[in-house]
Structure 1
Amino acid sequence: MSGVKLEKAIKRYGAMQVIHGVDLEIEPGEFCVFVGPSGCGKSTLLRMIAGLEETNGGNVIIGGRNVTHVDAADRGIAMVFQTYALYPHMTVRENMGFGLRMNGIDKATIKSKVDGVADILKLEDYMDRKPAALSGGQRQRVAIGRALVRDPDVFLFDEPLSNLDAELRVDMRVEIARLHQEIGATMIYVTHDQVEAMTLADKIVVLRAGHVEQVGSPMELYTNPSNKFVAGFIGSPSMNFVKGVIKDGQITADALPGLSFAAPRSAVTLDEITIGLRPENLTLDRNGTGLRVEVVEMLGGITYVHAFTAGGERLVFEERSLDLPKFGDQIGVILSEADLYYFDAQTEHRIRS
Structure 2
Amino acid sequence: MSGVELTNVVKKYGQTQVIHGVDLKIEDGEFCVFVGPSGCGKSTLLRMVAGLEETTGGQIDIGARDVTHMDPAERGIAMVFQTYALYPHMTVEENMGFGLKMNGVPKDEIKRKVGEASEILKLDEYLTRKPKALSGGQRQRVAIGRAIVRGPEVFLFDEPLSNLDAELRVDMRVEIARLHSEIGATMIYVTHDQVEAMTLADKIVVLRAGHIEQVGAPMDLFRDPDNKFVAGFIGSPSMNFLNGVVDGGKVRVPALDGEVIETTVSLPAEGTQVLVGLRPQHLTVSEAESGIKVDLAEQLGGVSYEYLTASTGERIIVESKEEEVLPKGSTVKVAYQPEKVLFFDAKTEQRIR
- Shared fold by TM > 0.5? yes
What is the aligned partner in structure 1 of residue 48 from structure 2?
48
Unaligned runs of 5+ in 1: none
What is the aligned partner in structure 2 of residue 213 from structure 1?
213
Which amino acid in the other structure matches residue 347 of structure 1? T
Deviation at 1:288, TM superposition (A): 6.2
Which amino acid in the other structure matches residue 327 of structure 2? K
Give distance in 2, aligned partners of 1:45 and 1:281: 35
Which amino acid in the other structure matches residue 190 of structure 2? V
What is the aligned partner in structure 1 of residue 157 from structure 2?
157
What is the aligned partner in structure 2 of residue 324 from structure 1?
325
Q: Normalising by structure 1, what TM-score? A: 0.98
Deviation at 1:311, TM superposition (A): 2.4
What is the aligned partner in structure 2 of residue 73 from structure 1?
73
> For the aligned residues, what is the CA RMSD?
1.0
What is the aligned partner in structure 2 of residue 282 from structure 1?
283
Describe the superposition over 1:236-287 as per-residue Cα deviations: whole angstroms up to 9, x where unpaired: 0010000001222221112212521235334235510000001110010213
Matches within 5 A, 1:9-24: 9-24=9-24
Describe the superposition over 1:223-247 as per-residue Cα deviations: whole angstroms up to 9, x where unpaired: 0000000000000001000000122
CA separation of 1:293/1:74 partners in 2, compared to 1, >3 Å: closer, same or farther? Answer: same
Describe the superposition over 1:164-204 as per-residue Cα deviations: whole angstroms up to 9, x where unpaired: 00000000000000000000000000000000000000000
Describe the superposition over 1:85-110 as per-residue Cα deviations: whole angstroms up to 9, x where unpaired: 00000000000000000000000000
Q: SS of the residue aligned with 2:334?
A: strand
Q: SS of the residue aligned with 1:301?
A: coil
Contact 1:255 1:315 in 2 (8 A): no
Q: SS of the residue aligned with 1:327?
A: coil
Contact 1:241 1:274 in 2 (8 A): yes
What is the aligned partner in structure 2 of residue 60 from structure 1?
60
Which amino acid in the other structure matches residue 205 of structure 2? V
Deviation at 1:339, TM superposition (A): 1.1
Q: Normalising by structure 2, what TM-score? A: 0.98
Contact 2:97 2:114 in 1 (8 A): yes
Matches within 5 A, 1:301-316: 301-316=302-317
Contact 2:253 2:261 in 1 (8 A): no
What is the aligned partner in structure 1 of residue 5 from structure 2?
5
Describe the superposition over 1:204-236 as per-residue Cα deviations: whole angstroms up to 9, x where unpaired: 000000000000000000000000000000000
Give distance in 2, aligned partners of 1:43 and 1:288: 51
Which amino acid in the other structure matches residue 239 of structure 1? M
Answer yes or no: is 1:176 the counterpart of 2:170.
no
Contact 2:246 2:267 in 1 (8 A): no
Describe the superposition over 1:22-49 as per-residue Cα deviations: whole angstroms up to 9, x where unpaired: 0000000000000000000000000000
Unaligned runs of 5+ in 2: none
Give distance in 2, aligned partners of 1:217 and 1:289: 42
Q: Which runs of 4+ in 1 moved over 6 A?
A: none
Contact 2:228 2:349 in 1 (8 A): yes
